[in-house]
Structure 1
Amino acid sequence: MSTPSQLAKRFREVVLDGKWIANTNFKDQLSDVTWHQANTKIADLNTIAMLTFHIDYYIAGILNVFEGGNLEIKDQFSYDLPPIESQQQWEELLNKLGSDSEKFAKLLEQMPDSKMDEVFVDEKYGTHLRNIDGMIEHAYYHLGQIALIKKMILFKHK
């Protein structure tokens, strides 16, 4: 299996359908979260909605590069979630995360192995491999946060 195919599999595991590393994934964790729960603030932690937006912000930004565009994302805007004021808006964010993630994985699978060692946009960002690995690790980091915040919300409402 090529390196891009292996990375696409790992990416899908954390976002869409895997259970190997964390015994869960974004889609699984978020499937039963209501928009009220997604917006629930626990102390000074980010909300589930903010973390969902944040991870999709980076996925969409890298996806844009995969599709031939520029790297337009900036860390300072990665938590600029527009207000979620309905279940429909929450579901739209979840659908965007799913759609962007599937496109990301499909384009990644189509890359040649040689692309992994090429510079990603600018030398300061390293290689494609480094950025894709970073995206997967970043997703696991926030998946853990979401799982814990979700447990805190459920415990709070018992």
Structure 2
Amino acid sequence: MIASRLREVLLNGRWIAYTNYREQIQSVNWQQATQKIGNLNTIAALIYHINYYLAGLLKAFENGKLEISDKYSFDLPPITSETDWNELVTDFLTNSEKFADRVEQMDDQQFDKPFIDEKYGTFLRNIEGVIEHSYYHLGQITLLKKLTIDNKSLETK
């Protein structure tokens, strides 16, 4: 059930937000993804941010060590071409699929166990946190996408 919720927000669902990450980012080019609007994060920065956590948690699932830090979660390398953007999108979608698959393979008892250290709560709490965090930023991406498209159409008038 929880793996389905992950897939819904990240890969293919439309129930809660009537969209998902894959749908939103596959129709964005690298200029839109990196377009800065005021002091808001870019679409690319938000994709990097969520992917940073997915990759870090996947690694923690494997080695039992949490080696990520919030302070690095927006350290997006420069995106200067469609190739750079496509690589980030591919990495994000791959990690999204791996993360959902890994969660789907967990036995039910795993969800109630402490995640790495008791101070982080249970596996379930952390996985639900990924879902909630993802929806939060999906809303931002959806709005940023509308703003970048609107700005582009305004520039051509």
Q: Work out whether the TM-score is over 0.5.
A: yes
Query: Which residue number corresponds to residue 3 of structure 1?
Result: none
Q: TM-score, normalised by structure 1?
A: 0.95
Residue of structure 2 aligned with 1:26, choices 21, 27, 31: 21
Residue of structure 2 aligned with 1:45, choices 20, 40, 47: 40
Query: Which residue number corresponds to residue 81 of structure 1?
Result: 76
Query: Which residue number corresponds to residue 105 of structure 2?
Result: 110
Aligned partners of 1:150 and 1:119: how far apart in 2?
37
Secondary structure of the corresponding residue to residue 78 of structure 2: coil
Residue of structure 2 aligned with 1:141, choices 119, 130, 136: 136
Give, in angstroms, the shift of residue 123 of structure 1.
1.0
Give, in angstroms, the shift of residue 115 of structure 1.
0.4
Query: Which residue number corresponds to residue 16 of structure 1?
Result: 11
Q: TM-score, normalised by structure 2?
A: 0.95
Q: CA RMSD in A?
A: 0.7
Contact 2:64 2:116 in 1 (8 A): no
Aligned partners of 2:136 and 2:104: how far apart in 1?
23
Query: Which residue number corresponds to residue 90 of structure 2?
Result: 95
Aligned partners of 2:100 and 2:112: how far apart in 1?
18
Residue of structure 2 aligned with 1:67, choices 62, 65, 75: 62
Secondary structure of the corresponding residue to residue 63 of structure 2: coil
Report the residue type matching 2:150 in the other structure. F
Aligned partners of 1:38 and 1:56: how far apart in 2?
15
1:154 aligns with 2:125: no
Contact 2:54 2:99 in 1 (8 A): yes
Query: Which residue number corresponds to residue 57 of structure 1?
Result: 52
Aligned partners of 1:104 and 1:155: how far apart in 2?
34
Aligned partners of 1:69 and 1:120: how far apart in 2?
9
Percentage of identical aligned residues: 55
Give, in angstroms, the shift of residue 69 of structure 1.
4.5
Secondary structure of the corresponding residue to residue 59 of structure 2: helix
Report the residue type matching 1:38 in the other structure. A
Residue of structure 1 aligned with 2:114, choices 119, 123, 126: 119
Give, in angstroms, the shift of residue 68 of structure 1.
2.8
Report the residue type matching 1:29 in the other structure. Q
Give, in angstroms, the shift of residue 67 of structure 1.
2.1
Moved over 6 A (4+): none
